[in-house]
């Protein structure tokens, strides 16, 4: 077994772009999907709250724009769905009910209502978020599976190549 591990280690030291690039891509994608699963809170763990809106700021980000909602009790929530429509309807000093996810970077509004109107449907967001998480899990498992298969095939090919070399050396001695 130690002999085979030594062969595989040598094979990894001498690996080519043919092996290194797909390995790097699969590890990067698996890391990205795992990061996405860890950073965003599952839909079952979302929180409900009510707040009085103190002020809001509309700001541009790389992917579009978001609304930062500041409450009278010094909390801040980020609204990044339908922000263009909703920002014109919000009123400072008004009471709102919200469903939000406590994500790694921000508290993100997933549902927003007041006494008169529903601005963002939490059930639709929950369904969409659950579907996204399902696909992230599937893609993570697929990346890890491909990574294992690809590395197993490479390790077996390294062992077979070394066995061929060893047989040639033995046949030359005879």
Give the whole-angstrom CA distance, residue 83 versus residue 65. 7
**3-state SS class at 77:** strand
Per residue in 147-169, pLDDT (tens digit) is: 999 888 888 888 888 888 888 88
Crossing angle for the helix pair 2-13 and 122-173, nearest 10 degrees? 110
Per residue in 32-63, pLDDT (tens digit) is: 999 999 998 899 999 999 999 999 998 888 87
DSSP string, 134-162: HHHHHHHHHHHHHHHHHHHHHHHHHHHHH
User: What sign has the CA pseudo-torsion 74, 100, 46, 31?
Assistant: negative
pLDDT, residue 174, reads 63
The pTM assigned to this predicted structure is 0.75
Give the whole-angstrom CA distance, residue 102 versus residue 107. 5
């Amino acid at each position: 077994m130690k002999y085979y591990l030594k062969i595989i280690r040598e094979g990894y030291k001498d690996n080519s772009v043919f092996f290194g690039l797909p390995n790097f891509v699969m590890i990067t994608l698996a890391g990205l999907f795992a990061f996405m699963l860890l950073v965003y809170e599952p839909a079952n763990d979302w929180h409900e709250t009510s707040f009085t809106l103190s002020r809001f700021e509309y700001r541009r980000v790389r992917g579009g724009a978001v609304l930062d909602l500041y409450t009278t009790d010094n909390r801040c929530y980020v609204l990044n769905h339908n922000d263009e429509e909703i920002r014109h309807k919000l009123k400072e000093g008004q009471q709102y009910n919200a469903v939000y996810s406590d994500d790694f970077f921000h508290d993100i509004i997933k549902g927003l209502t007041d006494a008169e109107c529903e601005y963002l449907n939490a059930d639709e967001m929950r369904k969409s978020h659950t579907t996204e998480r399902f696909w992230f899990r599937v893609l993570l498992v697929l990346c890890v599976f491909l990574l294992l298969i690809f590395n197993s095939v490479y390790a077996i090919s390294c062992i077979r190549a070394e066995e061929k070399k060893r047989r040639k050396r033995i046949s030359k001695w005879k």
